[in-house]
Structure 1
Amino acid sequence: MKTRITLIIAALLIGFNVSYAQQDEECVANLQVFSDLAKQKRYDEAYEPWMLVRNKCPKFNSAIYIYGERILKHKEKSAEGQDLLTLLKDHIALLNKGMEFYPKKYPVGGTKSEITQIKYDNKALFNMDDKALYNEFDAAYKEDLKSFVNPKALYTYFSLAVDLYDAGAKTSDDAQKMFDKFDDVSEKVEIEVSAYQDKLNKLVAKEEAGETLSKKDGQRKRSYESYLKNYDLIESGMNKKIGDRANCEVLIPIYQKDFEGNKDNPVWLQRAMNKMYAKGCKDDPMFVKIVEQKNAIEPNADTAFYLYLLTGEQKYFDQTVQLETDPIKKAKLYKKIARDFKDKGSYGKARQYYQEALKLNPSDRKPHLSIAAMYAKSANRCGDTNFNKRAVFWLAAQEARKGGGSGKNYEAKAPTRAEIFNSGMAGKTIKIGCWIGRSVKVPTL
């Protein structure tokens, strides 16, 4: 019997990397049982041995908390009313203990925001109002910003700020606080996106070099892509949520009122000019005033770009490219330059800078979607016959697929199979003229 227990302990040492000196043998055995069952997703069977270890040896192993969350989430799916509330409170208690015993695996910001998200998702059961929930998120955000990274929690935190603004007096000070929170969360999202894009770009570089990713790297790649997709949803969700609350009619009076008190605050100036640009307020004198002040006390690539927009002077354009050295930020800047050329109808220039952005940050495939849209919009003027004009949509579809889109909406506008047959062009290559300067192969029948 002693030999058998020794072998179990040895196996667990390998699997869990924990010191088992003088630990309870019952906990050792049940840890193995519930972890094996949880790996097989047999959560109902895992519950009893898990609870035994959890209650008897709460510091025994982090698996108690990692698998415990899965077990409780499984039980929560089929529970209602008071039963669900009991499980949710137990889930929160589990997270608090995880934070206490395993702080590296359960950091404060991430764990407390997860706890508050549970309460938000079930606020009727917890009988909590928006103000109390916001305050909990805010406390977690301020206590440990670094680990407050969950996309859903970040969005909920910002969403609550907007809801509280809508429910309040809506003074200019209230609006400024809401905009500050928008900027806070946006900057946090940008930090996380840059970190994941940097990691993903390294794996993309391996693939482009012809290297087959290991199983572990493949899992990492999927994980990074998933996080980036979720952060992208946050950004679009936040912009939709703030909507007309941040239009020029609202922003300009606020910035006019607060300028004198913030003219030496580079963070305020940076946020103000970025928001005015994003909301299409760049023609207002207040935008000029803010940009010039920011350039006077702390010039950077953004101020150079905005000065280029305002003056059209080449020197500011050159500064824009020179001042930014971080590849991810520079790619974002190139996208901004490209978007400006696109808005002006300078599609060739826009494509050039979208392609520069892709070189610097290949994991961000959205420039392909913008290029596809420009191809589609240019179909009538870049094709010399009706068939060739519509053939441009095949090119747009190809580019859209590179950007992660299906391309089906473009393909639907391309020549049909019957039209390909009647034209006699099946399998032939068509050269597209004007700024596009690309060739596209007609599908074979």
Structure 2
Amino acid sequence: MKARFIVLLSAVMLGSGAFAQDCTTTAALAYDDAKAKNYDAAYAPLMKVKEECPDYSLATFQYLERVLKHKIDGASGEEKTKYINELIDVYLGRLEHYPDKTKKGDVYSDIALLKFDNKVGTTEDRFNAFDKAYTEDKENFTSPKGLYAYFDLMVNMQDAGDRELQDVFDIYDRVMAKIEEEEIYEADRLQPLIEKQDSGEDLTSKEAKTAKIAEQKLNNFNAVKDALNAKLGARADCDNLVPLYEKDFEAKKGDVAWLRNANARLSAKDCEDPLFFKISEALHQLEPSAASAYSLGQLAEADGDRGKALEYYNEAAELEKDPADKAKIYYRIAQNYKSSGSFSQARNFYRKAIQAKPSYGRAYLNIADMYADSANNCGQTAFEKRAVYWLAAEYVAKAGRVDPSLSKHANATVAAYNGRAPQKADVFQEGKKAGDAIQIGCWIGETVRIPNL
């Protein structure tokens, strides 16, 4: 009996070894073909390895993704559908067998994009695929194209009469919040690298690559925001919003969630309608919040009561937890101080906005604008006064880097400010050289270094 057990065990072990050897050989040949982009030759053996020994290597799934994308591009009809389904299976197989090396958000987003690009299933099916990516792993659902498609499909369903306008707003808010979250992350990565360059230090090759990637991602997210707003279009105009919320106000004025939603939408569009005041007041009484305080600030500002407006805005900033929304409140406060000529106070709040949201390029632009306006008052000599424009140009350049939507304007403004700053001959006559520090006085109180001219 013991001898028989040993024989059986040996047979199993031999079989297992043969199976492993077969996988190793088949995989090695298939991987070589895939590396050489001989995708048609790699297809069958890779599928065999996936089916018979999926735990052999993550590379099986990585190469199969490339192979099947190639197959999909060259196929049509039922054959194309077959390859699409196989690629979906590959994505899910990778998640199943290599969960520690695979992000659910990436997988579900890739599947959703595959269905979106190839019009697989109904509009609702495709929307649900993106919704799964968002709800299952929001943190890793970061594809700019995927985020746009998520919203685009909802708009299409609303256009077809299958969804309400409020559903469109809900997904818009969800997607925009996610984009702003990603922008803050990328700007946080970029900010210290910009500061390092501004101080005259060179970036390492790794840092330069990080900066390039961050700037590209900021560009991509900015493009998506533009596309989202274009897609939303007139749906979010006050002419549509006011009737939408007015018809339900009496029935919903005790519903905090409804009031919060309506308040946010009307506030975003600055809808100065009596309904906005009623909603804001009702919300602030039921649940004092950053949103309701901000709305009341808008209303006070519209009435010309700047002091009351600033009181509400500061209350809103203290209550707000979301960094992007907090930045918007600080920016609004700064704008009020700037318009009244309180530049130092304005800069304080612009900086708070940047601290909350490092990609807030418009805050940098406004600081630069105030510096330029103060140039004649912030220097003992004509050279020192003109040197203020170098500092203004630095702030504008930062604005263009952290917010790509401002880059064209920033480039033109930097050139204009540098044109007003001292030129090479002026620096020479002053007995100075590139890199020398110039202390800017008055309320500015900063140091600027003479650039290479």
TM-score w.r.t. the length of structure 2 is: 0.69
Q: Deviations over 1:16-67 (max 9, x none)?
A: xxxx9996222234445655776xx533268255334223323433332233
Pairwise CA distance, 1:158: 0.5
Matches within 5 A, 1:397-412: 397-403=393-399, 404=401, 405=407, 407-412=410-415
Task: Measure, in 1, the Cα distance between the counterparts of 2:191 and 2:393.
Answer: 27
Distance 1:180 1:318, change over 3 A: closer
Pairwise CA distance, 1:370: 3.6
Q: Deviations over 1:84-117 (max 9, x none)?
A: 5554343223223334444565566653442231
Q: Secondary structure at the match of 1:413?
A: helix
Task: Measure, in 1, the Cα distance between the counterparts of 2:255 and 2:142.
Answer: 27
1:157 aligned residue (125, 150, 162) = 150
Q: Deviations over 1:283-320 (max 9, x none)?
A: 32222222222222222233333333434325434423
Give the structure 1 partner of residue 303 of structure 2.
none
**Higher mean displacement: 370-379 or 312-321:** 370-379
Task: Measure, in 2, the Cα distance between the counterparts of 1:247 and 1:334.
Answer: 25
For the pair 1:316 / 2:309, whether they are aligned, the reply is: no
Give the structure 2 partner of residue 43 of structure 1.
37
Q: Tell me the amino acid that sits aligned with residue 409 of structure 1.
A: A
For the pair 1:73 / 2:69, whether they are aligned, the reply is: yes
1:394 touches 1:414 (CA, 8 Å); kept in 2?
A: yes
Unpaired runs of at least 5, structure 1: 1-19
2:397 touches 2:414 (CA, 8 Å); kept in 1?
A: no
Distance 1:316 1:88, change over 3 A: same
2:88 aligned residue (70, 73, 92) = 92
Q: Which has the larger radius of gyration?
A: 2
Give the structure 1 partner of residue 347 of structure 2.
351
Q: Deviations over 1:113-166 (max 9, x none)?
A: 42231122123xx5x554543344346555665654433222101012223333
Matches within 5 A, 1:182-331: 182-190=172-180, 196=185, 200=189, 230-281=220-271, 283-311=272-300, 312-313=307-308, 315-324=311-320, 330-331=326-327
Pairwise CA distance, 1:251: 0.8
Task: Measure, in 2, the Cα distance between the counterparts of 1:21 and 1:222.
Answer: 48
Give the structure 2 partner of residue 365 of structure 1.
359
Give the structure 2 partner of residue 174 of structure 1.
164
Q: Secondary structure at the match of 1:287?
A: helix
Task: Measure, in 1, the Cα distance between the counterparts of 2:128 and 2:208.
Answer: 39
Pairwise CA distance, 1:76: 4.9
Give the structure 2 partner of residue 338 of structure 1.
334
Q: Deviations over 1:205-255 (max 9, x none)?
A: 9989xxx99999998787666655544443333223212220111111112
Pairwise CA distance, 1:409: 1.3
Unpaired runs of at least 5, structure 2: 1-15, 301-306, 402-406, 433-437
Q: How many residues align?
A: 409
Task: Measure, in 1, the Cα distance between the counterparts of 2:236 and 2:244.
Answer: 10
Task: Measure, in 2, the Cα distance between the counterparts of 1:188 and 1:299.
Answer: 25
Give the structure 1 partner of residue 51 of structure 2.
55
Q: Tell me the amino acid that sits aligned with residue 364 of structure 2.
A: I
Give the structure 2 partner of residue 137 of structure 1.
130
Pairwise CA distance, 1:263: 3.0
Q: Secondary structure at the match of 1:63?
A: helix
Q: Secondary structure at the match of 1:425?
A: helix
2:353 touches 2:360 (CA, 8 Å); kept in 1?
A: no
Distance 1:245 1:225, change over 3 A: same
2:372 touches 2:392 (CA, 8 Å); kept in 1?
A: no
Pairwise CA distance, 1:399: 1.5
Task: Measure, in 2, the Cα distance between the counterparts of 1:144 and 1:416.
Answer: 50
2:190 touches 2:215 (CA, 8 Å); kept in 1?
A: no
Q: Tell me the amino acid that sits aligned with residue 254 of structure 1.
A: L
Pairwise CA distance, 1:328: 6.4
1:375 touches 1:436 (CA, 8 Å); kept in 2?
A: no
1:382 touches 1:435 (CA, 8 Å); kept in 2?
A: no
1:382 touches 1:433 (CA, 8 Å); kept in 2?
A: no
Over the matched positions of the two proteins, sequence identity in percent amounts to: 34
Q: Tell me the amino acid that sits aligned with residue 366 of structure 1.
A: Y
1:308 touches 1:317 (CA, 8 Å); kept in 2?
A: yes
2:297 touches 2:313 (CA, 8 Å); kept in 1?
A: yes
Pairwise CA distance, 1:413: 2.8
Q: RMSD value over aligned CA atoms?
A: 4.9
Pairwise CA distance, 1:259: 2.5
Task: Measure, in 1, the Cα distance between the counterparts of 2:167 and 2:387.
Answer: 50
TM-score w.r.t. the length of structure 1 is: 0.70
Pairwise CA distance, 1:436: 6.3
Q: Secondary structure at the match of 1:43?
A: coil
1:141 touches 1:148 (CA, 8 Å); kept in 2?
A: yes
Distance 1:340 1:93, change over 3 A: farther
Q: Tell me the amino acid that sits aligned with residue 50 of structure 1.
A: L
Distance 1:413 1:320, change over 3 A: same
Distance 1:441 1:224, change over 3 A: closer
Give the structure 1 partner of residue 426 of structure 2.
425
Higher relative contact order (CA 8 A, sep 6+): 2
Distance 1:149 1:22, change over 3 A: farther
For the pair 1:115 / 2:108, whether they are aligned, the reply is: no
Task: Measure, in 2, the Cα distance between the counterparts of 1:198 and 1:23.
Answer: 50
Task: Measure, in 1, the Cα distance between the counterparts of 2:156 and 2:343.
Answer: 40
